[in-house]
Amino acid sequence: MDKNNLIGFGLIGLVLFTFIYFNQPDPAQIEAQKRYQDSITAVMQQQEAEARAIALKEAEELKAQGADSTSVLFNALNGEESFVTLANDKLSIRISTLGGRICSATLADYMNQEGNPVTLFSEEDNIPVRNVRRSDDKIFNQLYYTIDGKEENIDTRKLYFTPIEVSADKAVMRLSFRADRYIDFIYTLLPESYVVDLSVEAHNVENIFSSSAKRMNIVWEQILRQQEKGYTFEQQYTSLTYKPVGEDTEHLNERGDDSEKPEEPLSWVAFKNQFFSCIMVAKNNFNDVILESDTLHEGKGYLKVCTADMTAPFDPSGRVASDFSFYFGPNKFSTLKESNELIGGEDNDLQLQKLIYFGWPIVRWINRFFIMYLFDWLTSWGLSMGLVLLLLTLIVKAVVYPFTLKSYISSAKMRALKPYIDEINAKYPKQEDAMKKQQEIMMLYSKYGASPMGGCLPMLIQMPIFIAMFNFVPNAIELRQQSFLWASDLSTYDDVISWGTSIWPIGNHISLFCLLFCLVQIANTYYTSKMQPNMGGSPEQAQQMKIMRWMMYFMPIMFFFIFNDYSAGLNYYYFLSTLISVGIFIYLHYKVDENELLKKMEAYYEKNKNNPAKRTNFMANLEAMQKELERRNEELKKNNKK
């Protein structure tokens, strides 16, 4: 440290010392400050003494008059939390005396990644609030009911219930106000099902609630656990789903935070994971609903926080109970349909099975009435899921084979006509004759019974099946934890190579079935582009065709980065489907003789060239357009000469 720095620090110290010395209080000021502090302390002590006196007086009055006279909630405000368990061979639930709510649900016949029964939620789940849009310190699983009272509002979060009647499948949780005034929450676990009925029955509580208290407010908040190995893939199929009365199901955005205020009453609200759901059904519908969904970051063991704030009818007189039902179980179509009948009965089709998203209407019908029945039939044989998917692929390919054959024959016809197309290209080398050249090529196709759209249309017919399988396989819970070859679980990715750090855009693993699918897709692109006819045309058109083919080669590379996180079952199906397609193209290439096909086309042309009845409207329109174009060109030439 040099001399200048020392002088600077010395001057700063001198200034501070001088300021403190000349600004310190004198003895009179110190005494005044002490008296002021003593007066403040005396006032606070007096206030505390008065508060203790008031509390003591109230306690003496309470003791003299009885606790029930001070607050209708006095009996329920004091207690100790305990739990009641209801269980059957499929589902076990725990009901807490604090709030009288279901605080955990465990499935007996499905295992988690550690080999233990799947727990959908429990009282131990909580996360810091900084991960979601909330105002509390932490977020817990909770389900509570509030009802407006005359003097005090009922909020079940703060109240203790008393178990009155408990058995293996039924529990009556009583919220007591007085000996003869109470509300019972009656839980009934239906046998051999995932359904729990709840009936809220009031007894002699009309005077506690205002005459306008005809409804209760329900807040249901749940942290959705990550149940599967792949966070990204499971997140895509995790959502808050709901069903407006008389309409189809809707859901909040799976990929980000979202909220919604449905205008219509709702039949049910579901917090849905990829393979499991928690559903709450109101027998008389939910109203004034506010729905929220917050996405959580990977690595926390949770996927989303879902909240439903809603109202339901409540009758303080007790003449009509408020009835609800819960479903805690798998997203299996047949199970949801059976539960739908248990809850709604024959007259009220709640359509719980629509919780499983099978795609747009036409795709949904293919899945619902073809793929699903075929899959269930093959599964009933007791085969491994790998063989089931293989047989399913073969059957689907057999069904669409006629369309594939038609598409190939159409392309082969255009390839066979290539010598004639080359002649037309040589006839019209100029760019200004491009329209005339194209019309003549189209007329050539029409004369010989070929169609440039003949190859596209059959392929478009196959697309709904391709999309249907994309929606079906990830929702098939039967594939969950089913191994095949190197894949330990067909419902998630098969990471034959993995590493600790996530690398964009590949992630932290390589899925072998995805890699095989993409490699076979490149081979499929090679064969299909090789078999596509050269339409001829200008150099610009040839360049565009070349770019299109390079884009087709680029698509499998994109597929790899997209599908690497997808389920092994889906990649396995696409691998098989594409491999079979390559085999079919090779087989048809050797089966269909293009020279023989050309002879048949020429015979067709010779037979029908003088037969107006065989002339298609398309061909007639093309000829009319050509004649009109020639007429206009002649008129244009005459005008130019003038």
Q: What is the pLDDT of residue 604?
A: 77
**With a threshold of 0.75, does the pTM exceed it?**
yes
Most confident of 79-93, 175-189, 423-437: 79-93
Q: Which of 59-73, 172-186, 233-247 has the lowest mean pLDDT?
A: 59-73
Q: What is the pLDDT of residue 275?
A: 97
Number of domains in the chain: 2
**Side-chain-facing half-sphere of 311: CA atoms under 13 Å:** 14
Secondary structure, 3-state, 223-265: EEECCCCCHHHHHHCCEEEEEECCCCCEECCCCCCEEECCCCC
Query: Does residue 15 fall inside a structural domain?
Result: no
Query: Do both 403 and 344 map to the same domain?
Result: no
Q: What is the pLDDT of residue 138?
A: 63
Q: Phi/psi class of residue 288: alpha, beta or left (left: φ > 0; alpha: ψ in -120 to 50)?
A: left
pLDDT of 534 over the 60 cut: no
Query: Do both 512 and 415 map to the same domain?
Result: yes
Local confidence band at 17 (pLDDT 50, 70, 90 cut-offs): very low
Query: Do both 447 and 342 map to the same domain?
Result: no
372: its two tokens: 């699903």
Higher pLDDT, 438 or 458: 438
Return the percent helix, strand and coil in the chain, to nearest 5.
Answer: 50, 25, 25
Q: What is the pLDDT of residue 54?
A: 46
Higher pLDDT, 586 or 604: 586
Query: Do both 494 and 444 map to the same domain?
Result: yes
Q: What is the pLDDT of residue 210?
A: 75
pLDDT of 445 over the 60 cut: yes
pLDDT of 563 over the 90 cut: yes
Most confident of 75-84, 368-377, 397-406, 424-433: 368-377
Higher pLDDT, 591 or 393: 393
Query: Do both 350 and 370 map to the same domain?
Result: no
Nearest to 119 by CA among 390, 301, 294, 350: 301
| pLDDT, tens digit (0-9, with 9 covering 90-100), for 93-116 | 999 999 999 999 999 999 999 999
CATH number of the structural domain spanning residue 259: 2.70.98.90
Q: Cα–Cα distance between 179 and 268 in angstroms, integer?
A: 35
Query: Do both 464 and 351 map to the same domain?
Result: no
Q: For the residues 510-531, what does the mean pLDDT come to?
A: 88
| pLDDT, tens digit (0-9, with 9 covering 90-100), for 47-87 | 445 544 444 444 444 444 444 445 677 778 888 999 999 99
Q: For the residues 340-364, what does the mean pLDDT come to?
A: 87
pLDDT of 570 over the 90 cut: yes
Higher pLDDT, 293 or 149: 293
Q: Cα–Cα distance between 533 and 452 in angstroms, integer?
A: 10
**Side-chain-facing half-sphere of 233: CA atoms under 13 Å:** 27
Q: What is the pLDDT of residue 415?
A: 81
Question: Last residue of a domain, which of 336, 357, 378?
Answer: 357
pLDDT of 21 over the 50 cut: no
Query: Could you write out the DSSP letters of every residue in 322-336?
Result: EEEEEEEEE--HHHH
Query: Does residue 621 fall inside a structural domain?
Result: no
Q: What is the pLDDT of residue 95?
A: 97
Contact present, 407 and 528 (Cβ < 8 Å): no
Q: Cα–Cα distance between 586 and 486 in angstroms, integer?
A: 29
Local confidence band at 271 (pLDDT 50, 70, 90 cut-offs): very high
Query: Does residue 55 fall inside a structural domain?
Result: no
Residue environment code for 501-527, b if the CB has 16+ CB neighbours within 10 A, otherwise e: eeeeeebebbbbbbbbbbebbbbbbeb
Higher pLDDT, 369 or 539: 369
Q: What is the pLDDT of residue 487?
A: 95
Q: What is the pLDDT of residue 14?
A: 52
Query: Do both 214 and 267 map to the same domain?
Result: yes
Secondary structure, 3-state, 192-207: CCCEEEEEEEEECCCC
Q: Which of 160-164, 364-368, 436-440 has the lowest mean pLDDT?
A: 436-440
Q: Which DSSP symbol is given to 98? A: B
pLDDT of 44 over the 70 cut: no
Query: Do both 337 and 401 map to the same domain?
Result: no
pLDDT of 405 over the 60 cut: yes
Query: Does residue 24 fall inside a structural domain?
Result: no
Q: Cα–Cα distance between 96 and 168 in angstroms, integer?
A: 15
List the alpha helices (DSSP H) in 473-567.
Answer: 512-531, 539-563
Query: Do both 376 and 338 map to the same domain?
Result: no
Percent of the chain with pLDDT over 70: 78
Query: Do both 221 and 318 map to the same domain?
Result: yes
pLDDT of 470 over the 70 cut: yes
| pLDDT, tens digit (0-9, with 9 covering 90-100), for 613-624 | 455 555 556 566
Query: Do both 275 and 399 map to the same domain?
Result: no
Domain of residue 565: give its range. 366-604
Query: Does residue 13 fall inside a structural domain?
Result: no
Mean of the per-residue pLDDT values for the chain? 82
Q: What is the pLDDT of residue 441?
A: 77
Query: Could you write out the DSSP letters of every residue in 263-304?
Result: SS-EEEEEEE-SSEEEEEEEEEEEEEEEEEEEEPPTTSSEEE
Question: Last residue of a domain, which of 357, 389, 411?
Answer: 357
Nearest to 577 by CA among 569, 588, 589: 569
Query: Does residue 616 fall inside a structural domain?
Result: no
Query: Does residue 14 fall inside a structural domain?
Result: no
Query: Do both 161 and 118 map to the same domain?
Result: yes
Q: What is the pLDDT of residue 16?
A: 41
Most confident of 16-20, 504-508, 559-563: 559-563
Query: Does residue 107 fall inside a structural domain?
Result: yes
Contact present, 417 and 445 (Cβ < 8 Å): yes
| pLDDT, tens digit (0-9, with 9 covering 90-100), for 283-337 | 999 999 999 999 998 888 999 999 999 999 999 988 999 999 999 999 999 999 9
